């Protein structure tokens, strides 16, 4: 018996205009258009708060390696709010928008790891996180692998950590492209667990990839929590993960414009625009620009930080360095140096002939 190749989730074919707010008789204040106003208003407010947050960092752009990651994170509520607004207004294209939304979430997770690494590097005299890790003892991995121990001082540790998190920044966008193509071809069937559709494979790969990425973040946080405690890392982490949590677990409310299979999509898009205003305010508090203010200095130009935030070549370089570390042939180990006769207290061993005649 062959697989059922018909998607059980029906598309919304309701005869509702997605692009026109006014008609010949003025505004028809039905439930969908009221939702337009609500979603648009909250998306606009989120945009305003995000612009303020980003500009404060742009005008005090003194720690480039940290603040470029901060600005990327601050964009998260803005990206979610705008995408969710378009998801609500053009609800038949919800799947496409949600895939793009997930791709930016992956970039934010990568930016957060690089930000934490820079926070730790600030605690060393050489501004290198590896120097801080050299003082760490052998550690146990967090649950569920607490029986496994690792050494943060080993060269492979930082490369493994970066690779575990940054791989998601490339896997998730790739899955987004595959998902968009599959949806266009009618082979995605989002929400279906049938092996006849692409959704089950995309979800499985995505779940494995993000699990590895989040576990890598937890390992680094547990290892360096003492060095990070004055930078409020938990507040920063929660401001990111709560966005993911709330957008994932949304309720369902039926309206006349959604079929039973599209109810969650529409409500999720509408409520996300409302939630993003709250999270943009939370990020304004969790990532304050005052940490970087330098009294008596001229405000910095906004163009360099804006470019740095959208230039993700640092992700590529970090992942490439980690990949090269693991795939290159291991160099031959150098021979241990011989003790020098000039060292204080060194006495060469007597010749064997001397020992034989004594």
Please report, for the domain that includes residue 309, its CATH number.
1.20.1070
Output the pLDDT for position 255: 39
Q: Is residue 355 a part of any domain in this protein? A: no
First to last CA, the chain: 93
Q: Give Cα 178 distance to the centre of its chain.
A: 19
Helix (H) or strand (E) run with residue 37 in it: helix 31-58
pLDDT of res. 68: 94
Q: Which residues of the chain have pLDDT under 50?
A: 1, 15, 251-258, 260, 332-333, 335-336, 338-349, 351-358
Which pLDDT score, from 0 to 100, does residue 38 have? 85
Q: Is residue 185 part of a domain?
A: yes
Angle at 106 between CA 105 and CA 108, to 5 degrees: 65
Query: Is 160 within 8 Å of 322 (Cβ atoms)?
Result: yes
The structure tokens listed for 151 are: 């050494």
In a domain? residue 342: no
Is 15 domain-assigned?
Answer: no
For residue 216, is it within any domain?
Answer: yes
The confidence score (pLDDT) of residue 356 equals 46
Q: What is the pLDDT of residue 23?
A: 58
Domain range for residue 104? 28-327
Q: Comparing C-alpha atoms, which of 271, 279, 272 is closest to residue 240? A: 279
Query: What is the pLDDT, as a whole number, of residue 184?
Result: 85
How far is it, in rounded angstroms, from Cα 221 to Cα 238?
A: 13
Q: In what helix (H) or strand (E) does residue 27 lie, and over which residues does it extend?
A: strand 26-27
Residue 19 within any structural domain of the chain:
no
Pairing mode of beta strands 26-27, 22-23: antiparallel
The pLDDT, as a whole number, for residue 231 is 86
- pLDDT for 348 equals 46
What's the confidence (pLDDT) of residue 310?
92
Enumerate helices (H) and strands (E) in the chain, giving the number of each. 11, 4
Domain annotation covers residue 63:
yes
Query: Based on the structure, what is the number of domains in the chain?
Result: 1
In a domain, 12, yes or no: no
């Amino acid at each position: 018996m062959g697989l059922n190749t018909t998607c059980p989730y029906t598309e919304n074919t309701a005869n509702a205009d997605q692009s026109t707010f006014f008609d010949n008789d003025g505004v028809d204040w039905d439930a969908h258009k009221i939702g337009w106003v609500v979603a648009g208003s909250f998306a606009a407010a989120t945009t305003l708060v995000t612009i303020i947050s980003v500009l404060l960092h742009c005008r005090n752009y003194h720690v480039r390696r940290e603040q470029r990651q901060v600005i990327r994170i601050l964009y998260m509520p803005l990206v979610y709010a705008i995408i969710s607004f378009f998801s609500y207004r053009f609800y038949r294209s919800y799947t496409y928008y949600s895939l793009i939304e997930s791709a930016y979430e992956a970039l934010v997770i990568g930016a957060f790891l690089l930000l934490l690494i820079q926070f730790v590097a600030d605690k060393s005299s050489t501004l290198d996180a590896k120097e801080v890790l050299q003082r760490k003892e052998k550690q146990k991995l967090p649950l569920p692998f607490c029986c496994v121990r690792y050494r943060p001082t080993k060269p492979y540790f930082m490369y493994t950590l970066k690779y575990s998190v940054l791989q998601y920044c490339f896997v998730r966008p790739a899955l987004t492209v595959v998902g968009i193509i599959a949806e266009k071809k009618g082979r995605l069937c989002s929400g279906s667990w049938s092996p006849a559709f692409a959704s089950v494979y995309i979800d499985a790969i995505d779940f494995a990839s993000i699990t590895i990425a989040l576990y890598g973040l937890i390992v680094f946080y547990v290892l360096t929590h003492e060095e990070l405690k004055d930078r409020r890392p938990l507040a920063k982490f929660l401001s990111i993960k709560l966005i993911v949590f709330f957008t994932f677990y949304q309720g369902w409310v039926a309206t006349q414009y959604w079929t039973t299979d599209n109810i969650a999509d529409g409500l999720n898009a509408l409520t996300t625009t409302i939630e993003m205003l709250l999270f943009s305010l939370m990020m304004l508090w969790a990532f304050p620009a005052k940490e970087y203010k330098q009294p008596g200095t001229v405000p910095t130009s906004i163009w360099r930080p804006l470019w740095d935030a959208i230039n993700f070549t640092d992700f590529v370089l970090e992942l490439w360095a980690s990949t090269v570390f693991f795939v290159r042939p291991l160099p031959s180990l150098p021979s241990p140096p011989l003790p020098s006769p000039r060292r204080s207290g060194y006495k060469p061993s007597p010749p064997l002939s001397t020992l034989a005649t004594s």
